[in-house]
Amino acid sequence: MTRLTFIVFVLLISLVNLGQTHSASVSEGKIWNLQGNWFSCEFAHSQIPPTDGCKMLDDDGFSITKGSIDHIKVTDSTERACRGSKKGQCFERDREQIVISRSLVGPINAIKGGFEISYWGCTQTYTMQKHVGYFEVKPSGSRCLWARDKRYFISRYKGKVIARQ
């Protein structure tokens, strides 16, 4: 993942989660509380949903708490069944606990049906759709230069999180 793609993904997930925490976003008649720890699905691609129902998560993710989003990285995975056979770069969603490092990203704004990200002088709108085991997030309307025409597939991790500095 390039640095710009990572930043956009972080901001995207941040906006979704923060917005849900403080000004709940409504989609399909439902209000989603997305506060918590979120990771992209390991076996999803830019336009293809995860082949495993998002049971395996990428080691990079986001934590949403009280209107703030942090980038988080799992530091204790030894998983070998990751995409591309890259050891430790994913973990199973039902794992009991993970150890993470974290860094602040910033605030997020929710809108009806999704959220908006403002970056490099342009505001990009994203929509959200819930699926069994994961959410799909994609750009809507005119795209900013920095916004990729890509769908993101994310899932909440519900196990224990231990933050290390």
pLDDT at 31 over 60: no
DSSP classification of residue 18? H
pLDDT at 54 over 50: yes
pLDDT at 130 over 70: yes
Q: Which residue has the higher pLDDT, 6 or 61?
A: 61
Confidence of residue 156 (pLDDT cuts 50, 70, 90): very high
Q: Whole-model pTM?
A: 0.74
Q: Contact, 90 vs 79, CB < 8 A?
A: yes
pLDDT at 14 over 50: no
Question: Closest Cα to residue 40, out of 101, 81, 93?
Answer: 93
Question: Closest Cα to residue 56, out of 89, 21, 91, 83?
Answer: 91
pLDDT of residue 23: 35
